[in-house]
Structure 1
């Protein structure tokens, strides 16, 4: 496969990406560079998605949600406000990476996505009740995805937090993150995804694994963390 590296043992062989925007395209490029088979499902026509990925993610193919869901790992890279439009049956039984974020400017006021008693990934998991959801790749900037992916051991390598409830699923996503060019940083259970959502220190930080780990550890003492602790203490 020209222009791609051999796939390390343990890395999923195929990735489905739901979302053909800038983040989805960047992830598709990284996955192709890592030697993975990539299918991208966009919100427009198949022809429009194919044209978009031909420019930004050569080697990836356009497909339907069902096509993307047939991959070993499915990455959700759409606006979080659209999560309820995802057909749970299409993703049933699949390992799903939630790379989505809540932006009130885009999504509007959404109490379901701004509930201090839960994390947004737990909300996604409740909707996709038959899927296995892991939170990852959401806190990384587009610049980081495009410019700061490096081989293991590179001194400039950045860290990527991962939160999930099943150790095997977290390990699979960690292997994928490593193949994409980032050091995986285990962040606890899916509920701990709240520690690297928008508004946290780790979000958009573009730091190495050690600093990302420190930021996660500092979360509950941060302003955002204290707000959530107070809300949960009153519940």
Structure 2
């Protein structure tokens, strides 16, 4: 869902986008027609070749399917999150030896991975964009090991209508991952108490978004304590 929301905002901002999925370009015909002339569909390898910036909006369990050769030398935005479910776990993440983005960077060794757009809902992306300098402009976090790549992603967020807050390296990206205040919670109206994980996900997807300034993002990130990895589903 984050992929289509970012595509819509990018098109509205005047950018060109190349969409792909695992099912083939023909399955994206309806979305491409809806988005208009600045959108095209391609295979994952073709999309990776075409993009100046690549948003790898796939489940973390499928990150090793990302085309390494075609993504070499590219800046890759990682919006993936680690979610535990029956039959799937990654011991290195469970033990907090790595963050999920370090795992992605290990696979994409010749790419520049930046963690971003992983903690914010599609409703907010489509409704909370604001011009630069607006009092109620929302700030989104990013993490990465390459300063130039982080600047590229920050510039994209600006074009999409959001401020960016650089919160350090991929190793620090747990500060904005699942089970932290900056993972959705800070950006939506307070949810009812007692929700199950599935109920929280459903609530977060439809809840009204609230603006969060850069200073608040920094404050929450600094106060976050690392806990168990993975959103429990």
Class of the TM-score when normalised by the shorter of the 2 chains:
0.7 to 0.9
Mapped partners of 1:217, 1:183: distance in 2: 18
- Matched residue, 1:216: 221
> Would you say the 8 A contact 1:25–1:53 is kept in 2?
no
Give the 3 Å change call, closer, same or farther, for CA 199–52 of structure 1 in structure 2: same
- Matched residue, 1:103: 83
Query: How many residue pairs are counted as aligned between the two chains?
Result: 202
Mapped partners of 2:167, 2:137: distance in 1: 18
> Would you say the 8 A contact 1:161–1:187 is kept in 2?
yes
Kindly report structure 1 stretches of 4+ aligned residues shifted beyond 4 Å. none
Query: What SS does structure 2 have at the residue aligned with 1:42?
Result: coil
Mapped partners of 2:228, 2:62: distance in 1: 26
Report how far residue 167 of structure 1 moved: 1.1
Mapped partners of 2:14, 2:78: distance in 1: 22
Give the 3 Å change call, closer, same or farther, for CA 62–87 of structure 1 in structure 2: same
The one-character-per-residue Cα deviations of 1:102-126 (angstroms, maximum 9, x if unpaired) are 2224883332443412111000000
Structure 1 position 140 matched with structure 2 position 120: yes
Q: CA RMSD in A?
A: 1.8
- Matched residue, 2:183: 203
Query: What SS does structure 2 have at the residue aligned with 1:169?
Result: helix
Mapped partners of 2:177, 2:87: distance in 1: 15
Q: Counterparts in 2 of 1:179-190, with a 5 A limit?
A: 179-190=159-170
Mapped partners of 2:176, 2:12: distance in 1: 26
Mapped partners of 2:39, 2:87: distance in 1: 28
2:25 equivalent among 43, 46, 71: 46
> Would you say the 8 A contact 1:79–1:107 is kept in 2?
no
> Would you say the 8 A contact 2:24–2:42 is kept in 1?
no
- Matched residue, 2:158: 178
Mapped partners of 1:107, 1:72: distance in 2: 36
- Matched residue, 1:4: none
Larger RCO, structures 1/2 (Cα 8 Å, 6+ apart): 2
Report how far residue 227 of structure 1 moved: 5.7
Q: Which runs of 5+ in 1 are unaligned?
A: 1-21, 229-235
Report how far residue 162 of structure 1 moved: 1.0
Give the 3 Å change call, closer, same or farther, for CA 172–105 of structure 1 in structure 2: same
Mapped partners of 2:104, 2:135: distance in 1: 35
- Matched residue, 2:190: none
